[in-house]
Copies of this chain bind each other. A is one copy, B any other.
Amino acid sequence: MNIGILGTGSVGRALAAGLSAAGHEVQIGTRDPWVTLARTDPDRFGNPAFSTWTTAHEQVGLVTFAEAAAAGDIVVNATSGDVSMQALQAAGADNLRGKILIDVSNPLDFSTGFPPTLFVKDTDSLGEQIQRAFPETRVVKTLNTLNAGLMLAPERLSAPSAVFLSGDDDEAKGQVAELLASFGWQQIVDLGGIATSRGVEMLMPMWLSLLSVHGDPQFNWAIVT
């Protein structure tokens, strides 16, 4: 499958590496590929420069947001939540029309430092904002509740754990569930419409507390019945 990933941070890289290794054709989109490649310093989250990563992942193309969206049968929003809307606007409604957009973002506000707060919550969500802004795109919120390194590698944990799907289009959720299942996910929970993004986005403060308890991000939720 052709997959366009928006965002060159740790989430975009992990998804690109995993999807590419699984045989998908992957393009990563960024605002300006030359600027991204010219950087040598770590990004604001401490990830090594993209130019370092790309030498080990030459099968993944680096293109503009619009080119990545145009190339993808499925498009993934792996940008930081505070710039997601700008990145998607740069990707372009035409390039996203009719497509599945997997939204992995979280509405984190780092303006008052760490821990971040949420710039939208409870009565609305970033998933819903994106769906409203791109009504002809089929937004499926998922994978925003766990560390990038686990997103396509659930077997790294000691027991099965859960991923969640939120979206208004059942067929789109079905396709995303299939893609997730191909990476070994077993507990794939369809929460309902895109408004259920509120719940998964509001898990973030708890996730940050658990990160602090565990000391590393190798953990995930599971639902026990």
The 9 closest A-B pairs by CB, nearest first: A199-B206, A199-B205, A161-B224, A202-B202, A191-B209, A222-B222, A219-B225, A199-B209, A196-B209
User: How many A residues face the partner with a CB closer than 8 A?
Assistant: 37
Whether A223 touches B210, Cβ cut-off 8 Å, given contacts A123-B117, A203-B203, is yes
Are the C-beta atoms of B209 and A159 separated by less than 8 Å? no
- Chosen A-B contacts, 21 in total, with CB atoms closer than 8 Å, are A117-B123, A121-B202, A122-B205, A157-B224, A157-B225, A158-B224, A158-B225, A159-B224, A161-B224, A191-B206, A191-B210, A191-B212, A198-B205, A199-B206, A200-B206, A202-B203, A210-B223, A219-B223, A219-B225, A220-B224, A221-B223
Q: Which residues of B contact A203 (CB under 8 A)?
A: 202-203, 206
Nearest residue, chain B, Cβ from A207: B199
A170 at the interface (CB under 8 A from B): no
> Interface code A137-176, partner B: CB below 8 Å = 1, 0 otherwise?
0000000000000000000011111000000000000000
A133 at the interface (CB under 8 A from B): no
Rounded to whole Å, the gap between the CB of A174 and the closest CB of chain B is: 16
Chain A, interface SS category? mixed
Rounded to whole Å, the gap between the CB of A184 and the closest CB of chain B is: 14
Q: Give residues 5-19 of A contacting B (CB, 8 Å).
A: none
A192 at the interface (CB under 8 A from B): yes
Nearest residue, chain B, Cβ from A219: B225
